[in-house]
């Protein structure tokens, strides 16, 4: 299908964690690309523009999420899913609790599973679909991120498995693994004045943090009809950090 056809018939895309950061930028980028973006977040953003559809949802509550998705699906199927919602605990191995791991898995992994299972039947029936899971470069390992790195690595594993299972239905599944990005989530876990943050930034070859709009651009690319031959891939957008001699 051509890009022009996609614009003539807006396709719905669900974005989780849509009220700020990468999710907020994705909502704007997808609207500009002609999609009908529907955002889920704990709170509706105060700067929501006319025509933007945001719904409040606690994605850690699996049953409440399923109920909301069932209501949305009665309005029609979704072409795309962007699993962006996430949390990051900044605790050492010795201080990491099982409760923190449960919290990270509930939002970073389980919520993605619930959303995928709800939207999958419509995609299968249409024999078309795009799924983009937002992981993290931290999945490769990062100090003070036991729960975050574990849950984001799990999301990569799920992405590859989903890509294999859904390929016969012409549904693609890919993951984006951002490095440092200028979001509240990043700065909350990585205070600018912290030695670890300074060392991290020194290791980024491009010597800057990424912008949410740059990640949103990649999301829109993977959702595009002409990206239908890309599946099961992990796209690192990190200013070159993964090829840096220093791993932090």
For residue range 226-236, what is the model confidence (pLDDT) as tens digits? 999 999 999 99
Please name which of 88, 98, 108 lies closest in space to residue 197, comparing C-alpha atoms. Answer: 88
Identified catalytic residue from 35, 79, 148, 229: 148
Beta-strand relationship, 36-41 and 12-16:
parallel
Q: Is 148 a catalytic residue?
A: yes
In the prediction, which pLDDT does 84 show? 98
pLDDT in tens, 49-60: 777 899 999 999
Contacts of 225 (CB under 8 A, 6+ apart): 1, 2, 3, 5, 6
The pLDDT confidence band at residue 180, using thresholds 50, 70 and 90, is very high
Contact call for residues 107 and 185 (beta carbons, < 8 A)? no
């Amino acid at each position: 299908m051509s890009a022009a056809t996609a614009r003539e018939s807006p396709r719905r895309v669900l974005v989780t964690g849509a009220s700020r950061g990468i999710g907020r930028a994705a909502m704007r980028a997808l609207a500009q690309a002609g999609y009908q973006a529907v955002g889920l977040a704990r709170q509706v953003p105060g700067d929501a523009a006319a025509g933007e559809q945001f719904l409040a949802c606690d994605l850690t509550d699996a049953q409440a999420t399923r109920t909301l998705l069932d209501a949305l699906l009665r309005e029609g199927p979704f072409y795309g899913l962007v699993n962006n919602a996430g949390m990051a605990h900044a605790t050492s191995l010795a201080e990491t609790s099982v409760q923190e791991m449960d919290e990270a898995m509930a939002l970073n992994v389980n919520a993605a599973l619930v959303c995928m299972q709800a939207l999958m039947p419509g995609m299968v029936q249409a024999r078309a679909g795009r799924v983009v899971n937002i992981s993290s470069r931290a999945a490769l390992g990062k100090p003070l991120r036991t729960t975050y790195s574990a849950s984001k690595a799990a999301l990569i594993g799920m992405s590859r498995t989903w890509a294999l299972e859904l390929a016969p239905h012409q549904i693609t599944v890919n993951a984006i693994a951002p490095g440092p990005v200028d979001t509240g989530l990043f700065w909350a876990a990585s205070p600018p004045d912290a030695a670890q943050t300074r060392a991290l930034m020194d290791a980024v070859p491009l010597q800057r943090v990424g912008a949410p709009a740059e990640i949103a651009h990649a999301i829109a690319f993977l959702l595009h009809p002409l990206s239908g031959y890309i599946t099961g891939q992990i796209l690192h957008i990190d200013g070159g950090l993964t090829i840096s001699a220093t791993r932090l």
